[in-house]
Amino acid sequence: MRNGRVIAFVLFVVAAVVAGCSSESDNPPNPVTGDWRGMIQTPGKPIEIGVSFADDGTATIDIPVQGVHETPLKDVKTDRDAVEFAIADIPGDPKFHGRYDAGAGKITGDFIQGGQSFVLAMERGKVAPLPRPQEPKPPFPYRSEDITYRSGDITIAGTLTQPQGNGPFPAVLLISGSGPQDRDETLMGHKPFLLLANTLTRAGYAVLRTDDRGVGGTGGNLDAANYTDLSGDAAAGVSFLRGRPGIDQARVGLFGHSEGGYLAPLAASRPDSGVAFVIAMAGPSVVGADVVNEQTQLIGAAQGTPPDELGAQVRDTTAVTALLRTGDIEGAKKLAREQNATLPADKRAKAADLEAQITPYFAALVAYDPAPALKALRVPVLAFYGGKDLQVPAAQNEQPMRDNLAADPDATVLTFPGLNHLMQPTETGLPSEYNNIETTISPEVLTYVTTWLTQRIPPK
């Protein structure tokens, strides 16, 4: 579940660098073509960036600490000496004014955002990605196959990993968190679902992970989808697995992260779902609006937002989600526009971007009450939280989850102290910290999940 889809916006400090070239004989190739790296000298901790200039005058930027990778730069202009750029659709209108120094072999200048100016100097070289020691690398001791199947009128694309041998193997379908996610659930430089698939397949389970609607090879439009559509996509994945050779039809289960912890129980509670177990990692157990409102409060407080400003943010978010719970999407958009207009100019979102986030899909999330689906479960269920999660806080969700699963004969609910929404060891729990943490998922979580599963659904 993403922080602040309506009111709070995470500001990525990004820049667009100008590159140009000419085919004229009197105009030699642009000397800035290639890879550059440097530091935006922000107070406290400089931000490392990398910029790659192509021969055709386009450029991309990498900001490892913010999970920005090969993002296209736009509004590019340059000449032989000057480098200037601006980037659209980012609060604070970031701009760069500088020049290429042929003698020093550097690009230097000022990066300006929100009225503040920071020195930026870049030299030749490619910025190094942040270390991700848990990210699986081939060759793998199991089979991996890219697959497609139908869910209603759309095609879903994904990857199925399966242990060597004939099986039949128990299987797990992974369901990602909110927003458009690829099959690896790639975010902030991490690939949690790639790691989970690798871990569980090595333990003897077939694992299916898929692209969300409108992402990668999957068709459809996530913004136009509701929870009937999305739980139907999960059900289609279960049907696909149960029809595959080498899969044990009676032992197919669901693993949902964040919003996926809403959708997994919902899909499992469908008549004749055939789901054998459910695992929810940071899955909410209360109404979506309550989760969004609480995360606004917690994240703002952790960021040190002044109390009066934070109070206004929470009130604004609560007012918008209240309208969405009634299905009044147009009213929520109108209110969000009015709220946005009261913000300082450098903190306002563009109206089109703001409205684009208030969708039928988001309204479905905000209005969803997971209690009926959770109370209907009668299969083994594991639900766990991070003690420092600010997006789906354990203090808000653990006890309601226990209450909702009270009639299930095999339900386990627990909280891992010191972990965040991704189950990483964390200092603050803030989403801005996710990318700086090398661990993708705490090994203790991977071990616990694997042990719990093998005790209930043995690989053989």
The 10s digit of each residue's pLDDT in 105-116 is 999 999 988 788
Is residue 78 included in any domain, yes or no? yes
Identify the domain containing residue 111 by its residue range: 34-124
**Whether the Cβ atoms of residue 256 and residue 263 lie closer than 8 Å to each other:** yes
Q: Is residue 27 part of a domain?
A: no
**Cα 92 to Cα 348: distance, rounded to the nearest angstrom:** 8
pLDDT the model gives residue 17: 31
> Where would I find the beta strands (DSSP E) of 258-376?
275-281
For residues 245 and 232, give the distance between their C-alpha atoms in angstroms, rounded to a whole number: 22
Give the distance from CA 54 to its chain's centroid.
Answer: 29
Query: For residues 33 and 118, which has the higher predicted lDDT (pLDDT)?
Result: 118
336 & 383 share domain: no
Q: Which helix (H) or strand (E) holds 118?
A: strand 116-124
Instruction: Tell whether 380 and 245 lie within a shared domain.
Output: yes
Is pLDDT at 72 greater than 90 in this prediction?
no
What are 260-275's pLDDT values in tens digits? 999 999 999 998 899 9
Query: Exposure of 338 by Cβ count < 10 A (0-12 exposed, 13-18 middle, 19+ buried)?
Result: exposed
Give the CATH number, domain containing residue 101: 2.40.128
- In this prediction, residue 73 carries a pLDDT of 83
Q: What is the mean pLDDT of the chain?
A: 90
Taking 50 as the threshold, does the pLDDT of residue 235 lie above it? yes
Measured distance CA(180)–CA(112) in Å, rounded: 30
Query: Same domain for 88 and 208?
Result: no
Q: What is the pLDDT of residue 95?
A: 82
Residues 433 and 401 in one domain: yes
Please state, for a pLDDT cut of 90, what percent of the chain lies above it: 72
Q: Is pLDDT at 12 greater than 70 in this prediction?
A: no
Q: What is the pLDDT of residue 1?
A: 62
With a cut of 70, say whether residue 344 has pLDDT above it: yes
What is the pLDDT at residue 91? 67
Whether residue 259 is found in the same domain as residue 296: no
Q: Do residues 268 and 147 share a domain?
A: yes
H/E stretch holding 251 reads strand 247-257
3-state SS, residue 74: coil
State pLDDT tens for residues 117-131.
999 999 999 998 889
The answer to whether position 426 is within a domain reads: yes
Question: Does residue 59 lie in a domain region?
Answer: yes
> Any idea what the Cα angle at residue 94 is, between residues 92 and 97, rounded to 5°?
140
- Does a structural domain hold residue 150? yes
pLDDT surpassing 50 at residue 58: yes
Same domain, 177 and 250: yes
Number of domains in the chain: 3
234 and 177 in one domain?
Answer: yes
Q: Residue 5: inside a domain, yes or no?
A: no
Exposed e or buried b per residue across 181-207, where buried means at least 16 C-beta atoms within 10 angstroms of its C-beta: bbbbbbbbbbbbbbbbbbbbbbbbbbb
3-state SS assignment for residue 148: strand
User: pLDDT for 370-392, tens place per residue?
Assistant: 999 999 999 999 999 999 999 99
For 122-158, how does the pLDDT look when each residue is reduced to its tens digit (9 = 90+)?
Answer: 999 999 888 999 999 999 999 999 999 999 999 999 9
| Residue 240 included in any domain | yes
pLDDT band at 27 (very low <50, low <70, confident <90, very high): low
How far is 429 from 420, CA to CA, in rounded Å? 5
Q: What pTM was computed for the model?
A: 0.86
Of 340, 364, 388, which one is at a domain's C-terminal end? 364
CATH number of the domain where residue 211 is located: 3.40.50.1820
Is position 20 within any domain? no
Structure tokens at 212: 């969300």
Q: What is residue 19's predicted lDDT score, i.e. its pLDDT?
A: 33
Please check whether residue 73 is in contact with residue 60, taking contact to mean a CB–CB distance below 8 angstroms. yes
Domain check: are 209 and 226 in the same one?
yes
Lowest mean pLDDT among 78-82, 351-355, 424-428, 450-454: 78-82
pLDDT at 259: 98
Last residue within a domain, chosen from 364, 389, 420: 364
Helices assigned H by DSSP within 119-164: none
Co-location of 387 and 358 in the same domain: no
Residue of higher predicted confidence among 195 and 30: 195
349 and 379 inside one domain: no
Stronger pLDDT, 5 or 35, i.e. the higher one: 35
Average pLDDT rounded to a whole number, residues 73-78:
77
**Where residue 81 falls among pLDDT bands split at 50, 70, 90?**
confident
pLDDT of residue 20: 36
Statement: residue 36 has pLDDT above 60: yes
Which stretch of DSSP H or E encloses residue 60?
strand 59-63
**Is residue 153 domain-shared with residue 68, that is, in the same domain?**
no
Residue 10's pLDDT is what?
A: 32
Q: What is the pLDDT of residue 97?
A: 85
Q: What is the DSSP letter of 92?
A: T
